[in-house]
Amino acid sequence: MKVTAIIVAAGLGKRMGENIPKQYLDINGKPLIYYTLHKIAFCSKINDIILVVAEDKIHYCLKEIIEKYRIPKIKEIIAGGEKRQDSVYHGLKKVDLDTEIVLIHDGVRPLVDSHLLEKIILKTIEKDATVIGKPISDTIVRRDDLNYIKKILNRKNVYALETPQCFKYGLIMQAYQKAYQENYYETDDTSLVVRMGRKVAIIESDKINIKVTHPKDLYMAEYLLSKD
């Protein structure tokens, strides 16, 4: 069964407050995106990797990351789109037609481990669509338009979704095509599948799998990767 990973790393990372996108910030002498690619590339169940970056970073990624560190399984490095959804769709259109499973992962989540990757791929073979979720420990509320609490949610059934998110190729492609036909945008791949009425299984995340968004995340990732 062929599995293709789409690594999305085309964002500008403005919330980090740096002059360069966060995926290229230095962590222990290597760019952040290196660690993500390394984890994905050395998962035995992944066959191909499509890396989606800003157009002006394609050459840099090829020479200074892929070739320099000899990252295997890179099928193609392509330019992303205006929004994350556009970038993922660009990647989906480059997937070989004999691919059965597509794994979509944020380039700025460098702490994903091989056990989690294998687990989500195997679950997707069985369930068609699978997402990583972290249980919420805080009390979660929904507010109304006047900023009053409208409802307190049962946190037992509430999860924060992460990546990787994994799908049968035909299913996720159908979800994206439907979204574009209806001019509908989301920030999350799973949402596009759910809006078609399809079920998505959740695997509970038992590892630290932070998305590097703010400076404090970078410091934590640097520390944890130094222990890896």
* Counted domains in the chain: 1
Q: Give the residues across from 119 on adjacent strands.
A: none
| pLDDT tens-digit series, residues 177-217 | 999 999 999 989 999 999 999 999 999 987 789 999 888 99
Beta strands in the chain (DSSP E): 3-9, 26-27, 30-31, 48-53, 74-79, 101-106, 129-135, 140-143, 149-153, 159-168, 201-204
The Cα–Cα gap between 52 and 38 comes to 15
Q: Is 54 left (phi over 0), alpha (psi -120 to 50) or beta?
A: beta
The Cα–Cα gap between 46 and 4 comes to 6
Domain CATH for 108: 3.90.550.10
The Cα–Cα gap between 210 and 84 comes to 18
Q: Write out the two tokens for 192.
A: 């596009």
Average pLDDT over the chain, rounded to whole? 93
- C-alpha gyration radius of the chain: 18
Per-residue pLDDT at 11: 80
Domain that holds residue 215: 3-227
pTM over 0.85: yes
| pLDDT tens-digit series, residues 111-145 | 998 899 999 999 999 999 999 999 888 888 989 99
